[in-house]
Structure 1
Amino acid sequence: MVIGYETEDPLFESGFKWISIKLAAVITFIFVLQLIYPPLTDMFSEIPSRIFFEPWRIITHIFLHSTTNITHIFYNMFGLVLFGAILEKIVGWRRFLTIFFIAGIVASIGSIVVSFLQGTQNIPSIGASGAIFGVIGALAVLRPRMIVYVLYFPMPMIAAAFFWALIDIIGLFNPFDYINNSAHLFGMFFGIV
């Protein structure tokens, strides 16, 4: 309950920490730092050929986004705030963070393996997409009938997750499209499991 306002909405309960929004704010702040100091992106992006000597890149790439394509951070932060807040409400902030970061790490490791198989191990990867797809996968299991809008069409969460996974499966056949489709799929797989 908020003083002067009664609600049954559990988002207003004292246990809800708004971690997804705070995480989006941190990522956006780091994006601004990338704009100010471009070498930051090279220093912390996931580059599979360097991962054995610079293992921090498995986590740090989650906080970086393309400075040449503003839609990259916009869509990721939109998905993080929207789906993250819902998942956080369902599982609590600690479990939400656990799902987010482990999905990001699993997505990174999976995409590193795929990059070596495809011969693209020198192409850097950045973004929170794998972690966010983990959140989407978890919601597909926990709230499969929740209605979401995809391309202006309402559909159950499970169908939306399947649709997004299908797009990424198709994208696997074009390893040079600058979308880390395998990271999305590995992240979603972790979220589902």
Structure 2
Amino acid sequence: MLPIKDLNPSRSFPLVNLTLIVVCSLVWLYEFSLDEVEFVKFIGEYGLTLSNLFERPYTIITHMFLHGGWLHIIGNMWFLYVFGDNVEDRLGKLRYLLLYLLSGLGAALLQILVSLLVGAEDVPMVGASGAISGVLGAYMWLFPHARVLALVPIFFFLTLVEIPAVYFIGFWILIQIVNGLVSLPFAGMGGVAWFAHIGGFFVGYHVVKRLKPRNIYYI
């Protein structure tokens, strides 16, 4: 399922959300301009690698702004664009940024634990997926009944369907959990950091309750 847009109006300009999208996109364009050797070196320097974490503690933050390919950056930024504005609208700008960063940190910590279990201490982790998963968790708690217009495969056709956010995001996190468990024996080989998605989601879902979102009445 691919979200096209949410049918949930926002009354404030999503400055933080758009800034995150622009910064991640600019960093990716810089990565794309590098040759293969420079790219690997850049990822090694700013990606989150457990074996180098104490040597490069800043990577706990910088890894959230790196991406590994066009599909990675486009997919992440699209989900952030669709769901982030409403969460920022309810939380306010500073609390939204705090939620985003805490979700990214929670995602990284869970993935680090998994890396320790499977011996993947030298595999770098990059991407905003964990932080964005936290935004999805917050959205599901704040707007469970909002409608999401999604492109859904039905037999051999793609169809636009309106789906309640609780079902759309609930199905999404279920897929992350299933994929994480299935891929666990191969996690040492790299690939998608499924447990970062899972960790970020549950951090965002629980943290948003404690950030005291604003009450907004829609007419």
User: Could you tell me the TM-score, scaled by structure 2's length?
Assistant: 0.77
Read off the aligned partner of 1:123 and give its amino acid letter: V
- Structure number with the bigger relative contact order (C-alpha 8 A, sep ≥ 6) is 2
Give distance in 2, aligned partners of 1:131 and 1:151: 23
1:50 to 30, 49, 52: 52
Q: What's the offset of the Cα at 1:126?
A: 0.6
Q: 1:31 to 1:94 in 2, by over 3 A?
A: same
Q: Deviations over 1:123-149 (max 9, x none)?
A: 111100000000000010011111114
Partner SS state of residue 106, structure 2: helix
Number of matched pairs: 180
User: 1:24: Cα distance to partner?
Assistant: 0.5
Identity, % of aligned positions = 32
Tell me which residue corresponds to 2:173. Answer: 165
- Secondary structure of the 1:106 match is helix
| Contact 1:115-1:121 at 8 Å conserved across structures | yes
Aligned residue for 2:140? 140
What is the SS of the residue equivalent to 1:127? coil
Residue of structure 2 in register with 1:28 after alignment: 25
Q: Distance in 1 between matches of 2:190 and 2:50?
A: 17
Please tell me whether the aligned partners of residues 58 and 109 of structure 1 are also in contact (alpha carbons under 8 angstroms): no
Distance 2:178 2:118 in 1: 15
TM value normalised by structure 1: 0.87
Deviations 1:159-190 (A, max 9, x none): 22221111111112212461100000000001
Match of 1:188 in 2: 201
3-state DSSP of counterpart to 1:192: helix
Aligned CA-pair RMSD: 1.7
Structure 1 runs of 4+ with >6 Å offset: none
How far apart are residue 150 of structure 1 and its match?
4.3
Q: Give CA-to-partner distance per residue, 1:32-82, whole Å, 9 cap, x none.
A: 11122323222100112211222111110000001xx31100011111122
Paired residue secondary structure (2:163): strand
Instruction: Give the whole-Å Cα distance in 2 for the aligned partners of 1:117 and 1:150.
Output: 36
In structure 2, stretches of 5+ residues that fail to align are: 1-8, 153-160, 207-219
Q: Could you tell me which amino acid in structure 2 is paired with residue 159 of structure 1?
A: Y
Is residue 2:107 matched to residue 1:107? yes
Q: Hey, what does 1:80 align to over in structure 2? A: 80
Question: Equivalent residue for 1:3?
Answer: none
* CA 48–91 in structure 1, closer or farther in 2 if over 3 Å, else same: same
1:148 is paired with a residue whose SS is strand
Alignment gaps of 5+ in structure 1 = 1-8
Aligned with 2:162: secondary structure?
strand
Higher fraction of strand: 2
Distance in 1 between residues matched to 2:147 and 2:14, nearest whole Å: 24
Q: Report what 1:60 is aligned to.
A: 62
